[in-house]
Amino acid sequence: MGWSASCINPFPASSHLLVAINMSKHLKSSQIPLRKQKRAWLGNEKARCVLAYYGLQKPPYELDALEPYMSRKTLEMHWGKHHRGYLEGLNKQLAKSDVLYGYTMEELVKVTYNSGNPFPEFNNAAQVWNHDFFWESMQPGGGNEPILGLLQQIEMDFGSFTNFKEKFIEAALSLLGSGWVWLVLKRNEKRLEVVKTSNAISPLLWDDIPIISLDMWEHAYYLDYKNEKGKYVDVFMNHLVSWNMAMLRMARAQSFVNLAEPKIPVA
């Protein structure tokens, strides 16, 4: 199935749902499960062309809202250029085939990883997902300490909040090359752990539940901190990390992992 350059997208690019409009042919049932076909089937059988896209999602704050700790210039370059580039690259790859219709971004990351033999789409899909998660891991006025059950869980799994911070910072500074540092909830172990991943790899691929993330690619910090990675990581932990979002993610995680006590309150 081909994509016509004359197709016009009437929908704003504001979400990660893969949509198909003006569909000229039925999706092949042998390529995708029926529920995926239904999710993708948003068009009219009689229309003449097809268009598939993922929309660029904005950070949940203005681009200058993290200043002075992360500059607008960095956000314009990091989100506006690098993140956008991954998304546009992904959409170009998806335009070549209808096999990946209807997946959420999280599903797309897992499918394209292909059990360690990644499809060409994997790098772009994973980087889009990772970056959206990273933006939402920060907030204006962030830092300080988590509260309530989340703090208790961190203290139980790391010994103290100070121990957790030291482990997170050590992981960030010992990461070779480009990659990410994560606080994740391990499903089987039922505990929080700090993990680091290279390039575009996400803990989603190990069935971990990410809680916060820090982008350790050079373009995340170079404009503001040059080669001072330690300062960048320290600023993230003390002034940017969103423990409010982390608490919401932990509350959701408890729908899948029974942590017993302490319970992580939703609010």
Q: Is the dihedral of CA 196, 201, 202, 205 positive or negative?
A: negative
Beta strands per DSSP E along 117-229: 179-186, 191-198, 209-215
**What are the tens digits of pLDDT across the range 208-254?**
999 999 999 999 999 999 999 999 999 999 999 999 999 999 999 88
**What are the tens digits of pLDDT across the range 48-76?**
344 457 999 999 999 999 999 999 999 99
Question: Can you name the residues that pair with 185 across neighbouring β-strands?
Answer: 192, 209
Tokens of 28: 């092949």
Position 38 in a domain? no
- Which CATH number fits the domain that encloses residue 189? 3.55.40.20
Position 50 in a domain? no
pTM over 0.85: no
Number of domains in the chain: 1
In which domain, by residue range, is 101 found?
72-256
